[in-house]
Structure 1
């Protein structure tokens, strides 16, 4: 009989915390012939997208009650979809060809199509190309933040880059590009750090403002982002929020990054965007939102652009930049894997700056 291993699955948020997290045991996976079996040590607290047919799955961020803690945590980028695993190679498949990997190597897993549905103590990775070595000077808990959150933020910054360059070129040598970043959670913290790395020589010409979605985010924005902050208090009338945003940003903005956009935030962003402005949003629910707001955006020549997670090569580059200290990772808090409920509850209350990371026991502590 196969050995049973623990698994934690975090599903797309519903109104109730207990409906999001599932703990159970699953058989130890076999080692794929051309892949590897990985002993998981750390995993980022991300949620798995359920199938569209699931009655309890959110179809958009708006499906969560606007005042609920989970709604706030998704909106401010503290909680997002993804698959983030860091651990060690337990075994390599018998058909694996030439590779620099060997059992015992510390690795992260690229979130490939068809990845496992949850975080188990051991996972099977079908091809070794999806494994990236973790440098010795990087902790596995830090490495676990890279495969989804950091990678998504990097791809977003890369996508924004050409628009930033276009705005600066059009405004001349003394012109400025104004960017509005929505949220103060883990995704926003990564995006800010990556943007500052890639645009250092133009920092004075790229003005970044942050829209804070809850009171706890104000201190995070000041302490970790050190940027101008505009508070989006959803209890205010929409026109008040639009005027507040334009006042804080010194007028219309050229680019908005909203990872977890809703109908209301897109409508607000379009009213704050300058003509020919760009709104970057998650590809997760972008199809319906772009279909709905595309005609409105076209009137002012605004552009709605969905952003995917990023590539394997981008993730390799990200590992290098973080390990060399060129990009500083956001803070993170570690919870044991059986404390996933506590981690998600604290994320919902906004009391974890940065990221929450789950940790499975190592072999020594299991004995």
Structure 2
């Protein structure tokens, strides 16, 4: 497709030259009208940076980009994305909000593909080569959408993937899985401190309770990574993990994971009932909550399930809005709310190895042609796709 479409540009001397174009797909944060958040257009193929590379995208995770303008439409999108819920009511959210609350659709940039071109100043002994299968670590200057050909300014953002790792699985790693991994690592540092403080207690009394909120892609990755991580660190007998499921399908998916308890957060119930139900399943108040929800209601409930001195981990993306609202409450309970950012490039390398070697199993996923992106986002926001949704741009496998 990219080789067949051209545009005319004036070169400054009233002469025209032909520039190749490639297709770009952009998913912006859905508002109340979900169908208006997916855009398809053609953009010029950018020159490969001298020390960088150009990637041909094969698969991409169905993540969204925040609207970059301060227009009314973008503000309403962000507002709906982070819409507040009154903890004392049972008002239901619209389908457009559902995917956000579950974490099945989240902000980020996830691509897997092959190297199409290397820069002219790239060393000949570089560990990368044309045609190599890779994923891309999200960087500050990443484009506004998924173009068929993506320019990478620095090779450090490119992470090779082995042949045994399917592209559709690899595409889930750079944002969702990596954020989940970083959250689990932070939770581990908190758990280590708690276990040290309780070292004189008996086994049952020193156990640390972790609650993971959500059953979309983020939470499903987190519970898998946490189960593996604490087992290999020797702390699995001292850590109890519970998943708070936000929908029926997620409840089923979560129960399929060994040694993990599940509690369903049915939005039809009153808050005190949900909090009591959660504490009953967890065996009391929990020590750490990894909350992938995006609403005040979710965080309010998590704090009420937390013990005195406990810690809540939330995505850095929503922290700016939610932290001021709960600063006083968390202070009164001697609790801490910690924003979690995306993980490091080295963590992404480690994650690729763990998933490729099947030490960590990916959550359920479905692959769709990129032409169906609008339908995919609609289904995600209506919670009709279990786990993750992957968009396929080219079929090379």
2:58 corresponds in structure 1 to 41
2:186 corresponds in structure 1 to 159
Matched, 1:211 2:211: no
1:63 corresponds in structure 2 to 83
1:87 corresponds in structure 2 to 113
Structure 2: give runs of 5+ residues left out of the alignment. Answer: 1-17, 86-91
Give 1:362 deviation, angstroms: 4.5
CA contact (8 A) 2:244 2:264 kept: yes
Secondary structure class of the residue paired with 2:256: helix
Q: Deviations over 1:105-158 (max 9, x none)?
A: 111111011101111111111111111111111111111011001110110011
2:88 corresponds in structure 1 to none
Matched, 1:8 2:30: no
Q: Deviations over 1:134-184 (max 9, x none)?
A: 111111111101100111011001111111112222233502111111111
Matched, 1:108 2:108: no
Secondary structure class of the residue paired with 2:57: strand
Q: 1:289-308 maps to which residues of 2 (within 5 A)?
A: 289-308=322-341
Q: Distance in 2 between matches of 1:67 and 1:238?
A: 16
Secondary structure class of the residue paired with 2:35: helix
CA contact (8 A) 1:192 1:225 kept: no
Q: Distance in 1 between matches of 2:72 and 2:54?
A: 33
Matched, 1:21 2:38: yes
The TM-score with structure 1 as length reference comes to 0.94
Q: Which moved more, 1:325-334 or 1:135-144?
A: 325-334
User: Which of 223, 231, 234 lines up with 1:192 in the alignment?
Assistant: 223
Q: Deviations over 1:301-349 (max 9, x none)?
A: 1000000011111111111111112211122111011111222222223
Structure 1: give runs of 5+ residues left out of the alignment. Answer: none
Give 1:93 deviation, angstroms: 0.9
CA contact (8 A) 1:330 1:355 kept: yes
Give 1:17 deviation, angstroms: 1.4
Q: Distance in 2 between matches of 1:64 and 1:288?
A: 10
Q: Distance in 2 between matches of 1:59 and 1:31?
A: 37
2:362 corresponds in structure 1 to 329
CA contact (8 A) 1:15 1:64 kept: no
RMSD value, Cα? 1.9
Secondary structure class of the residue paired with 1:356: strand
Secondary structure class of the residue paired with 1:285: helix
**Structure index of larger Rg:** 2
Q: Distance in 1 between matches of 2:174 and 2:307?
A: 33
Give 1:202 deviation, angstroms: 2.3
Q: Distance in 1 between matches of 2:244 and 2:146?
A: 32
Q: Distance in 2 between matches of 1:267 and 1:156?
A: 19
User: 1:232/1:363 Cα in 2 relative to 1: closer, same or farther (>3 Å)?
Assistant: closer
CA contact (8 A) 1:189 1:224 kept: no
Give 1:6 deviation, angstroms: 1.4
User: 1:139/1:64 Cα in 2 relative to 1: closer, same or farther (>3 Å)?
Assistant: farther
Q: Distance in 1 between matches of 2:278 and 2:395?
A: 48
Secondary structure class of the residue paired with 1:199: helix
Q: Distance in 1 between matches of 2:57 and 2:261?
A: 39
CA contact (8 A) 1:64 1:70 kept: no
Q: Distance in 2 between matches of 1:142 and 1:115?
A: 21
User: 1:64/1:339 Cα in 2 relative to 1: closer, same or farther (>3 Å)?
Assistant: farther
**How many equivalent residue pairs?**
364
Q: Distance in 2 between matches of 1:134 and 1:222?
A: 30
Matched, 1:125 2:152: yes
